[in-house]
Amino acid sequence: MSQSYNRGLIEDFGRWKEFSAGMWAWIFHKFTGWMLIGYLFTHIAVLSSAIAAADGQTIMLEGEAVNAYTGTIQGLESLFIIRVLEVGLLAVAVFHILNGLRLLMVDLGIGLEAQDKSFYASLILTGVITVASVPTFMQGVGL
């Protein structure tokens, strides 16, 4: 044909309201997966302060000299924003685990008819577990 028209991604993100359960599950799984791998890199970086600590280096924490590892971690944990981010990380991990289990079932061909329900269940459970964990995560931190 001489010429044709490419509508590009017309239906993709502008039409998010029409996405179905399976599509949302995919988007969330992707998002949480990327967050987790991103966090893993950060996590190892922070834990690397153990190398300095083993070397005997210290840093100041609330006016006291403590070893570099303890100081780094407790310094971070004393920040409100870090605690909030940790709750976020928990939510992300819990969703990825629950939906990951759902995907494993789908891969085994189990319960395919209930795939939308199991997605909603993952979402709700994630919410419940996250909310229930807030007190533990927020323990002893001031605003």
Chain positions contacting another protein, by CB under 8 A: 1-7, 9-12, 15, 18, 20-23, 25-26, 30, 33-34, 36-37, 40-41, 44, 47-48, 50-51, 53-54, 67, 69-70, 73-74, 77-78, 86, 90, 93, 97, 100-101, 103-104, 106-109, 112, 115-116, 133, 136-137, 139-141
Tell me which of 50, 76, 86, 100 binds ligand HEM, using CB under 6 A. Answer: 100
Which of 114, 97, 84 is CA-nearest to residue 28?
97
Q: What is the C-alpha to C-alpha distance for residues 85 and 123, in angstroms, rounded to an integer?
A: 19
Q: Does 36 bind ligand HEM (CB under 6 A)?
A: yes
Which of 89, 119, 109 is CA-nearest to residue 22?
119
Chain centre to alpha carbon of residue 12 = 24
66: which strand partners?
59
Q: Does 97 bind ligand HEM (CB under 6 A)?
A: yes
Q: What is the C-alpha to C-alpha distance for residues 86 and 100, in angstroms, rounded to an integer?
A: 20
Q: How many CB atoms lie within 10 A of CB 141?
A: 14
Tell me which of 30, 85, 111, 134 binds ligand HEM, using CB under 6 A. Answer: 30
Interface residues with ligand HEM (CB under 6 A) are 29-30, 33-34, 36-37, 40, 96-97, 100-101, 103-104
